[in-house]
Each structure stands twice: as C-alpha cells, then as structure tokens.
Chains A and B, each alone.
Chain A
Amino acid sequence: MVVALALWDNIMDMNKILLIDDEEDSLDILSLSLKSEGYDVIAAASGEEGLDAFERESPPIVLTDLNMPGMDGIDVLKRVKNSNPDTEVIVITGHGDMDSAIDALRYGASDFINKPVREEALQLALKRAKEKLVIGEKLRAYTTDLENMCHIAIGEIKRKSDFQDKLITSSNDGIVATDENGRIIIFNPGAEAIFGVPRIEVVRKLDFTQLFPPEIAEVFSLMFSRGRDMRDVGWKDVMIHGRGGDDVPARFSGTLLHDSEDIIGSVGFFQDLREIKRLEGELVKSERLAAIGQTVARLAHYIKNILAGLKGGTYVVNIGLDKNDTDKLRTGWHMVERNVGRISYLVADLLAYSRERDPEYRNCLPNDIVEDVCELLDGMAMENQIKVERDFDPSIKEVSMDPDMVHRVLLNLVSNAVDACISDFDEKKQHNVRVGARLEDDNVIRFEVADNGCGMNEKVKSKIFSAFFSTKGGRGTGLGLLVVQKLVQEQNGSIEILSEPGEGSVFIVRLPYEKVE
C-alpha cells in the first residue's frame, strides 16, 4: 500500500521538467510549448544553473542542450545521472551531430532529439521517458516488495530452523543424521545419552557404520546402495553397546532422506527403552507377587479345610478308642483317609498345573484307565446315592497314549460330576454319572463324562477355566478344570462342554492316540 502511494506521488511529480538551453529563444519557445502541454517547467540558461535547479527541485525528467558553453550537456548528463540514476535525461543535439548523440546515449541519456526541435519528436521522447519512469518506479516497488518478502521469508526460515534445532536438541530420543556419504552431521543429546559418546567425537568424524549396532548399520548400508527401492526401516528393538560398557536397549527406526531422486542423507531415531524396560520389569514383578499372594491365600484356605478334616478325623478316632466304639473308630479313620486323599489330589493338581511336561506315550488300554477312575469314585458316589454308569466301546484296543494324563483328566471330570450331583438338592432326581469312551475317526478317542446334577449357568461356565475359581465352597481348589485344560492341550486334544442349570453337565474330551503295531 505504502509502495503504491509512493509510486503515485512520483507519477504526479512526473510533470516536472528541467529544461536547460543556453540559447534564450530556444529556451523560451520550448518552455512555452511544454507549459502549454501541462508541464511544470524549470528553465535554466546554463549547465551550472541547470544543475543547481536539479539539486533543488529533483525533477524526474531533464531536457538539456548538448552544445553549451561552460558546462556542456554531456557534463550535465553525467552529473545528473551520478546524482540520481533514475532521472530520465533527453539530450538536444545539433542537426547531424550523431557522434554527440551516441556519446550521450552511452552516458545514460534516455533519448535524443535534433535541433530544431520538432513538436512531435519532443512529445514522443517525453512520452517514452515518462513510460520508462513509470516502469522504473514499478520495478523499484516490486524490488522493494520482493526484498521485504525475502526478508520475512528468511526470518521465517531461520525461526523454523531454530525451532527444529531446538526440537532435535531437546528430543528425548536419540537423533542421528548423516549426509549423503553416511558421515554423521547431527548427533543430539538424546543420542549422546544412548551411545555414551559426546557429540564432538562423532559429528563429522564418524560415519554411521562406526556408530550403529552392526545389524542396523548393515540395513542402512543396504538402503544407501539400493536407493529408492528401500527407504526406511520400521521400529526395531536393538541393543546399543555404549562406550561406557552399558548395554542400552533401544527401539530404532530410520529413513533415507531424498531430494526428489537423489539421496541427500539419512536419519535414525533411537528411543531409549531403559526406563520402559525398568517399569515393565517392575510391573511383571508386582503382578507375579500379586498372583503368588492370591495363590497362597487360596491354597492356605483349602489346606485349612483339609486340616480341619484331619483334626476332626483324629478327634473322632480318639473318641472311638476311648470308648472302644468301633463305629466311631471306622468313621474317624475314614475321615482321616479321605483328607489324606484330598492332600494327594491337591499336590498332584498343583504339580500338573505348574510343571511343563511333555506327554509320555506308552501302550495302554483306555477302557481300563476309565474303569479305574470309576472304581476310585464309586465309594463316594454310593455314599451319596449316585450311580456311576459305564459305557465303554469294546472295540477300543491297546493304543499308545499318555495313561497318567488320561487318568488325571478323567479323575478330575468324574469327581466333578459326582460333586455336581451332591450339590444338587433336587430330591426327585435319581442322580447318576455316565462315563463313556468311544473310538472316533482319525485316531481319536472321545471320552464323555455326563451328569444330571446341578448344572452350570452362563456365568459359572465362563469362569470354569480360571485359576482358583470354585463353586464347591471350601472343598474345591479351583484348579481341577484348569489342570484338565492344560493336560488336554498338551496332548493336542480338545474339550467341549454342554450344561444347563438344574439339568446337568456333559464334558467331552477328544484325545488323539497312536496305533500299536
């Protein structure tokens, strides 16, 4: 805006002309003629006078005769141009004096007209001078504008570059940038902390192959040689062997920097993982402690129950001994035995749950294993008026399986089934547990344990494989089904559950076996 107004002022001023001629007539006539065209004419009768007027009035256009006594037109021209090079100087030459005209043009005159001055030639010369002035003015305005913008842009670039410098310097991540030859040119304090080397020993002294861990250096070299096919490395965990001897875990990502097709450098980002790893470690530790705490509390409770059973048993045995009461003795002894059994099961479950164990395949008769499990639980079932029905496929012959695991799995399932019947208080039901074994295709045996006990609702079903979840009050470890699941998985088998509250549950376990030659 300011520029435009200045331009306008000068255009208004453009009507001011300094006219220099030593011939009085000529000066008068030209002066009159110009005035009538609307020009503001300053008339001077000599070069010296003309220059004074020029200094005083600063006219944009000067019209001077060349041939003058004293200071001639060429001198005037030189001085005017020296004083203000933007001034348009038109020289008036004698008729046929081409040499002077050429001289004048060489010293920067914008035009020449011949004497005697013809009106049209003068007007044309003035018109051209004025046009040149306008263009010159515009050019100046544009230049100023351009310079201003350049200035602002440089300021902005500097601000941005300062900002980026600060960004790089204050980043917690290590930033390492190289030029196109792999020489390191940026090494920020984050990188100093990770690599344990001061910036001054690295920048412009090392290339990346001397700094990066070998696996990263290799990928970077590959990137440099492959160019556009491979431009970056995604996040990758690496171990930095610091100068101080510390191993620093870091997460790395890097990229080649391109200017259109040319590689102009590379940059690598190293995230310091020391703090994260430390926190992770603490978290794992505290979770482990919490899990141990929970396990111990749950186990302590279960063991307390067994202890109560054992104490109760010994008490009843003592009463029986004191009174010579065989019935009491038998009852008490039975209590002791049962609780010893509970401890054995608990220990076996705990070991099965906590130990990694590969299946041990041996030749065995699956039906015998299932029969054995049923016999173990017949007693308890009978005490509670529960029938254990067997339904074994007689075509199952000797196979190679892990008999101990099969036994553990079925023992857990059948004893759960018996418990489900005991927990069902529907007096009208004749409770029974059905244990089945069938051959299926693809060398799989399908074991099925079904009961018509209390059944499970959705909530219970969703939790049965959670550690220490139990619906059996103080009598459950909350480990049984977890052990079943673990063992079945270890044998590459599968487990399927159907259950309706009040109707009962069916557990189907499919286990693969090897044929015996």
Chain B
Amino acid sequence: MSKRVLAVDDDPDIIMFVKTVLEENGYIPLIARNGETGLSIARDEGPDLIILDVLMPKQSGIRMYRELKSDETLKGVPVIILSGIARRTFLRSQEALTEFGDQPVPEPELYMEKPVEPAELAEAVKDLIDRS
C-alpha cells in the first residue's frame, strides 16, 4: 500500500511542487496550508512522513514541530523541514523555546533549504520512509 506524506506549506506553488514530486514517486500526498490544519490532519491520518515549512501565518512550523515531537503517537513520524530560513536559525528558535520552559525536542530528521531539487526531495522522502 502506498505511503502517505503530509506536506504543510502556505505557499501554493511549493504545495503544488511537493504534491507533484510525491505523486510522481508513488506516494499519496496530504496537504495543509497552515500549522493548525497540518496538526489536525497529522492526528487524524497518521502519515508516514511530514514535510514542514517554517514561516507560515497562523500556527508556524516552529510551533507545529514542537507539537509533533511532543505527541506520543506522532513523535516517531520522521519530519523533513523544508524552508527558506537557514537550519541554524530554526534550531536556535527551538532552543529559545526550550529555554523558555518547554520540554526539549530532538532535531528534525532532515533539514532542507528551499529551493530544493525534485530528485533530491524524492530521494530524501524515500530514505526516511525506508528507514522507519
């Protein structure tokens, strides 16, 4: 049975791109346009992998990532952060939240900076799903 991958991004072009890459490589894409919807889809559907943007209106990727990694049933789902912001900026923001009293969360399984090559993304998705 095909694996399901949840893509969360507010940019319709990125969503279309990721959706096409996933379809072309035989996965079933699930789509969310913000962190809030993303989280509820993740809880309802239990995807095999999540591709997450960082800067989004409403609930941001930073917050959603913490929720995912603190959720007993979801924390095992591998996450690819796909963002325009640099990896260390994202990690620093996570550290800052930890310093403000949140539980520490592990680093994401993979961090990819936009723009990303389709083949690169497809390979990363395959790798992570095969590994889990």
Contacts and interface: CB of A to CB of B under 8 A. Distances in A.
A binds B: yes
Interface in A293-310: 301-302, 304-305, 307-310
Nearest to A309: B13
Nearest to A335: B13
Interface stretch (B51-59, B63-71, B103-111): B51-59
B14 A308 contact: yes
Contacts, number: 83
Interface string B39-60: 0000000000000010111101
Interface in A336-354: 338-339
Interface in B87-117: 113-117
A328 interface: yes
Given A313-B13, A475-B10, A307 B55 contact: no
Contact of A308 (B13, B20, B24, B55): B13
Interface in A471-490: 471-475
Contact of A474 (B17, B55, B116): B55
A331 B13 CA distance: 10
The DSSP consensus for interface residues of chain A is helix
A475 B55 CA distance: 9
A425 interface: yes
A423 interface: yes
Contacts of B53: 473-474
A269 interface: no
B11 A474 contact: yes
B118 A308 contact: no
Contacts of A328: 20
A315 B118 contact: yes
21 contacts: A301-B85, A305-B11, A305-B114, A307-B115, A309-B13, A309-B17, A310-B115, A311-B115, A312-B13, A312-B14, A312-B20, A315-B21, A315-B118, A316-B17, A331-B16, A335-B13, A423-B57, A425-B36, A472-B10, A473-B10, A473-B53
Interface of B: 10-11, 13-14, 16-18, 20-21, 24, 34, 36-37, 53, 55-58, 60, 83-85, 113-118
